[in-house]
Amino acid sequence: MKLKGYDLLYRKYHRFHLYRKAWMILAFVFMLGGSAQVAVTSGVESRHGYGSWYERYAEPADDLYKSPIQLAITRDGSKLYVSCENTDEVLLIDTEQKKVMAQARVGRMPFALLLTSDEQKLYVSNRWGDTVSLLDANALEVLQTFPVGDDPHGMAFDEDENNLYVTNLGTDDVSVVDTSSHREIKRLRAGVGPFDITRVGKYLYVSNQWPNPFPFLTQPKLELTVIDAQSQRVVDRRELDSTVIGQGITASADGQLVAISLELPKNLIPETQIYQGWMVTHGFVVAESKPGGKVAYLLLDEPNLYFADPYGIAFSPDNRYLYVVSSGVDTLSVIDVEKMKTTLEFSDGEIGLSNKTIKLYARHLALSNDYVAARLPTGYNPKGVVVSSDSRWVYVANRLDDTISVLDATEFESVGSIDLGGPKRLTELRKGARLFNYSSISFQQQLSCNTCHPENHLDRLNYDIAIDGLGRNIVDNRTLRGIAATAPFKWSGKNPNLQRQEGPRAAQLFFRSHGFEADENEAIVHFIEAIGVPPSRYLAPDGKLTKAQRRGKRLFERAYTNDGRYIPVANRCITCHPPPLHTDRKQHNVGSQAATDSSADVDTPHLKNVYDRAPFIHDGRFYSLEEMWTVYNPDDLHGATNDMTKQQLNDLIEYIKTF
């Protein structure tokens, strides 16, 4: 009876404080003139991330979609492993029977799959868990889960499988894990957003999703990071000119070439010229595998038809074909390797093209017919691709219809698909996800929403919108994570809601088409509002702040400068960035107007996971948060900061990173 009474007392106490907290939030929002429903919903961190409105729109089926994303296949081709990011599962498929034989629950949002050479163990990277799971590949049982870096993606072994290398997209590095103890022994700095990894002999090659920091209004450059697995050192950082969104990576069977799927943007040419083919092109880079080797760029696109959002990429084991998935148009392009080598003037392990010709081919829309042997249809939003060891069968994971396409490489035809068992009903959120990845909505299918917002995030580019009568209007691309209830939108706050942002605005400026129908527009808006942000890597799991973060919090909320001067309410950090949204949803002049801007007032962005959203300010002119106050705030228009010491600025930034 005593325990029951204590339990009842605790529940009353807990309920009281929940109500008290809710009423405090409501009162705060009403004070700002906002919506109570907005505050409560946006202040919640759910399984889908902080700020997600997923629970508002989701149906039971939304939690049951598999969303397959990556694949691994055994040497004899009898078993296929599939990672399913939505259900946190790994599936085992019998390729002969074309059916799922077993499934295992792993970490949050599983991604890459890697079999040991004896095919007895299977490693799985868990993106939102910051872990790798080790499974018995036959029983499909989890044996161990161990930590790595933030947002782990690709994995590869060294030659002896003594060490596992894991690309950590969130921390821009590669974890080196001892496979006997499964302890991380070191980290190696990669480019920005290391995505995938492959091996040729003792060398490991890493693709990077985002360009390294680059000067304002210049071309972006991805990095191809090369690691010597014997010395465990980075031995080469190869620049890939005018490229972005490097994702899948593969090595040829003879070890001479490495290929990366990527985009070749034209973001500094006015987007209104999309009719001339100027917006973005899609293709892959081919690199000599030796450190310091030459690189060349080839397009998948044709003059009047584009193949948006290249993702998975794989050489066939017989080295005859290179397969590239275009996830925005549900297509698998088959590249004839010998014809590709002829185009590259490849001989004795070297690309023979001159640098001038390499630059020409990187923009050559009429060249793909020289090396593309076939275009094969897949299911909705294809991602990972693998090829059987006899080079006969190609398997493609279709993320948005829960199937695996089976393609016959000898006949260049689809021979069916493997159903993974997800719901057959198309919910509104699933429909929105398909539309988000649907490039056929744009002129000549040049781009989808995902093209500029990969993984519902951003591409870190500046764009020339060329509107408002000025001829130029440079804007920074913003993330879509956690933006529910943060209206208005656009850098100037001119779009009152997402319906306008994703409807007439997108059709007029980007797609150059009729745009989405009314029901489609509503579905894609709800999908975007359901996107949350991952937990901050700078905030402890228990929510407690470090000493530096507590000092930063006091500075964020302060009313007086170091020398005792009163800071007007309008010039305090917390005034424009109040919790829980970290935006007052208004426009302010913070002294950042450029000659090409039509207005001095800019919309206040939310600050959730701001550390992961460089470059900064409305036109993306700088890369570090420190520059916000040390270079671009001389008149204290963007908060009173000029009196702060270097330590205080560091503390302030450490606190902001916890949002």
At 278-301, the pLDDT tens digits run 678 999 999 999 888 999 999 999
Is it true that domain 547-656 has CATH number 1.20.1050.10? no
At 582-617, the pLDDT tens digits run 999 999 999 999 887 888 999 999 999 999 999 999
Look-up of token digits 């959730």 = 608
- The interaxial angle of helices 646-656 and 547-557, nearest 10 deg, is 90
Asked if the model's pLDDT at residue 213 lies above 60, the reply is yes
Residue 521: which H helix or E strand, with range?
helix 518-529
Asked if the model's pLDDT at residue 41 lies above 60, the reply is no
Q: Give pLDDT, residue 272.
A: 63
Query: Which residues are 489's β-sheet partners?
Result: 495
Asked if the model's pLDDT at residue 19 lies above 70, the reply is no
Could you give the CA distance from residue 513 to residue 444 in angstroms, rounded to a whole number? 10
For the chain, give the mean pLDDT. 90
* DSSP tag of 507: I
**What is the maximum alpha-carbon separation in the chain?**
86
Asked if the model's pLDDT at residue 493 lies above 60, the reply is yes
At 409-446, the pLDDT tens digits run 999 999 999 999 999 999 999 999 999 999 999 989 99
Percent of the chain with pLDDT over 90: 81
At 190-208, the pLDDT tens digits run 999 999 999 999 999 999 9
At 109-124, the pLDDT tens digits run 999 999 999 999 999 9
Q: Give pLDDT, residue 621.
A: 93
Percent of the chain with pLDDT over 70: 91
At 126-162, the pLDDT tens digits run 999 999 999 999 999 999 999 999 999 999 999 999 9
Q: Average pLDDT for residues 39-65, to the nearest whole number?
A: 80
**197 close to 217: Cβ distance less than 8 angstroms:** no
**Domain spans, the chain:** 1-33, 547-656
Tell me the pairing of strands 79-84 and 173-178: unpaired
Q: Give pLDDT, residue 391.
A: 98
Could you give the CA distance from residue 378 to residue 381 in angstroms, rounded to a whole number? 8
| Residue predicted with more confidence, 1 or 509 | 509
Q: Give pLDDT, residue 30.
A: 36
Asked if the model's pLDDT at residue 361 lies above 70, the reply is yes
